[in-house]
A and B are shown apart, each in its own frame.
Chain A
Amino acid sequence: MPAVTELTDLTIAQGRDGLRAREFTAVDLTLAHLHAIEALNPRLNAYLSVGHAQSMEQARAADVALAEGDTRPLLGIPLAIKDLFCTTGVRTTAGSKILMPFVPPYESTVTANLLRDGAVFLGKTNMDEFAMGSSNMSSYYGPVENPWKRRQDPSAVLVPGGSSGGSAAAVAARLAMGATGTDTGGSIRQPASFCGLVGVKPTYGRCSRWGVVAFASSLDHPGPFARTVRDSAILLGSMSGHDPKDSTSADVPVPDFEAACQQSIKGLRIGVPKEYRSDGMPGEIETLWRQGVGWLREAGAEIVDVSLPHTKYGLATYYIIAPAEASSNLARYDGVRFGLRADGEDLRDLYERTRAEGFGAEVRRRIMIGTYVLSAGYYDAYYLRAQKVRALILRDFTQVFEKVDALLTPTAPSAAFAQGEKMDDPITMYLNDLFTVPADLAGVPAASVPCGLDTDGLPLGLQVMARPFDEETMFAVAATLERAAGFSALPTLRAGS
Chain B
Amino acid sequence: MALDPATVRRIATLARIRMDDAEVTTLAGELNTILGWIEQLNEVDISNVDPLTGAAHMALKMREDVVTDGGYPAAVLYNAPDRIGDFFAVPKVVE
Name A residues whose Cβ lies closer than 8 Å to a Cβ of B. 101-103, 105-106, 203-205, 217-219, 244, 247-248, 250-252, 310, 313, 316-317, 319-320, 327, 331, 334-341, 344-353, 355-356, 359, 364-365, 367-369, 371-372, 375, 382, 384-392, 394, 425-427, 440-443, 468-469
Contacts and interface: CB of A to CB of B under 8 A. Distances in A.
A105 B78 CA distance: 8
B57 A205 contact: yes
A102 B37 contact: no
Interface in B29-48: 30-31, 33-35, 37-38, 40-42, 44, 46
B84 interface: no
B70 interface: no
Interface string B1-27: 001000110011011111100000001
16 contacts: A102-B79, A103-B79, A204-B55, A218-B54, A244-B61, A337-B79, A339-B81, A340-B81, A345-B91, A346-B91, A349-B18, A351-B16, A364-B17, A391-B51, A394-B52, A443-B57
Contacts of A346: 91-93
A352 B41 contact: no
A493 B77 CA distance: 43
B79 A367 contact: no
B31 to A, nearest CB: 6
Given A347-B91, A389-B41, A391-B51, A352 B16 contact: yes
Nearest to A357: B18
Contacts of A248: 54, 56, 60
A355 B17 contact: yes
Contact of B61 (A247, A337, A469): A247
A474 to B, nearest CB: 15
A341 B88 CA distance: 12
A352 B33 contact: no
Contacts of A327: 15
Given A310-B44, A367-B15, A388-B49, A335 B31 contact: no
Contacts of A320: 38, 41
A61 to B, nearest CB: 24
B87 to A, nearest CB: 11
A385 B46 contact: yes
B88 A337 contact: yes
Q: Is the interface of B mostly helix, strand, loop or mixed?
A: loop
Interface residues of B, number: 49
A108 to B, nearest CB: 15
Contact of A352 (B18, B50, B54, B80): B18
A251 B61 contact: yes
Nearest to A103: B79
B57 A426 contact: no
A190 B28 CA distance: 29
A360 to B, nearest CB: 12
B22 to A, nearest CB: 13
Contacts of A347: 90-91, 93
B81 A352 contact: no
B66 interface: no
A388 B50 contact: yes
Nearest to B78: A105
B44 A244 contact: no
Contacts of A106: 75
B57 A468 contact: yes
A204 B42 CA distance: 28
A391 B52 contact: yes
Contacts of B34: 319, 365, 369, 426-427
A286 B78 CA distance: 53
A369 B15 CA distance: 10
A442 B80 CA distance: 38
B67 to A, nearest CB: 14
A371 B49 CA distance: 24
Given A105-B75, A355-B18, 19 more contacts: A105-B79, A204-B57, A205-B57, A218-B53, A247-B61, A250-B58, A251-B61, A252-B58, A320-B41, A345-B91, A349-B18, A353-B18, A368-B31, A372-B35, A375-B14, A388-B50, A391-B50, A427-B37, A469-B57
